[in-house]
Amino acid sequence: MIYQNASSVGLSTSGSPTKWFSSSLPGAVVVGTTGNDWLSASDPAATLQGGAGDDIYAIWDGRITITELAGGGIDTVRSWAGLTKLSANVENLELMQGNQRGIGNALNNILTGSAGNDTLDGGAGNDVLIGGAGADTFIISGGNGSDVIYDFEQGLDTIRLQDYALFNFAAVKAAMTQTGLDTTIALGGGEKLVLRNTLASSLTTRDFWLPTDPLHFGMKQTFADEFDSFSASATGLGTTWKTTYKVNDQLRTLSTNNEAEYYSDSSVGVDPFSLKDGVLDIAAAPGSNPLGLAYNSGLITTAKSFAQLYGYFEARVDLPAGQGFWPAFWLLPADGSWPPEIDILEMLGNNTTTAYAGVRSSTAGNTTFKSNYLPDLSAGFHTFGLSLAVRHDPLVCRRQRGCRDGDPGRHEQADVHAAESGSRRYRQLARQVRPQHADRPYADRLCPRLAEWRPQRHRARRCRHLRRQLYAECGRRQRPL
């Protein structure tokens, strides 16, 4: 079958196989012929080597190695793995069981989903994306060429635009043109997105996931810390940051979370904080402390220095990888009550491609949002933000390894903290904790909406925070301490 990409180049699917080769042996190497072959293996350490024909690679684990020569036919990976990245010189990817993520390579690829909620990212090249049934997400990134989506379902599927200067639906709509039955969106830089058999008039803001405008037009900055210096104390009085938990108390751990770390600072022994080149590093590592806990860690919060209502909270951070780490960024009410709470970001160190966000509310209950198959969040700095527009109180920003938020009608604080998990649920992770680093470049911004990160039961090694900026215009957050 032939699909036309955005450059009117026909992309072909693979021919049918004539020979089948498979192995279940550990570390097996399965080699094809010069014809159309089916190659499969079950061991993650296996290698599949295609030949000159149209080869089909069947995999159940994304770690299986696939080697294919350039120009060696039209090849396809059929994957049952949760995350699959196309190897070099392989043209097409088919996701077979749903709720999977597929990422293309530098070629012009055809990526096809199945009946589940799949995520398709063509990568570089002018790709063809076919979601199939289910609520699919199409990731379109600047500098990766022009893509075509063949089966976009308005109100069900989502287009995530990244690295383009399209920050609101009005800008997206202005970039749309209708050509026959197709809608074309001019993305900038000579790139475009084509939606086959889709009317521009039928698209709404709910069909898109857009980046935050870095200039935050119409907002004023209300809080920022670029960490050129570090102002902190255990009480938080007269300093930017408070290094102990709760608003009016000076707790050194959160026992209700069964945490295994002691929130330390230079006033009580081990100093987990270090500053260099505009980066605050928070270290979590094994050590002694007055409470006899297994690890020393650090927490910073604006509990005594800043509170705000609606706005945009943002932090740029580098998170640690490794079992036992649970970094977070969250908001809590400035009055110390709980709930409510807003978790902007949580990540487990043993799964650095999955992020969690959540809301804890006494009126609306608890909701957790899970994002799978993200880029490696421990590989350099990433920016996390939340835009908050609620009907209630100001927020206090804390930095622990997260920030907390609360229910409508209270002040909020933001927290960021490095910790090791000591909870029942994650205690097994804390047994194998080695010192690691989590970098956080800048801090939070408040703008009209809702965003927060929260740590919960964490233990981490090192966290760096560069800057926290709060842009407020109409928000409020509240979260319990």
Could you confirm whether 91 is annotated as catalytic?
no
Catalytic residue among 346, 412, 452, 473: 346
Cβ atoms of residues 346 and 420 within 8 Å: no
Q: How far is CA 376 from the centre of its chain?
A: 8
Catalytic residue among 314, 341, 452, 473: 341
Could you confirm whether 473 is annotated as catalytic?
no
CA distance 107 to 91: 6
Please list the active-site residues: 341, 346
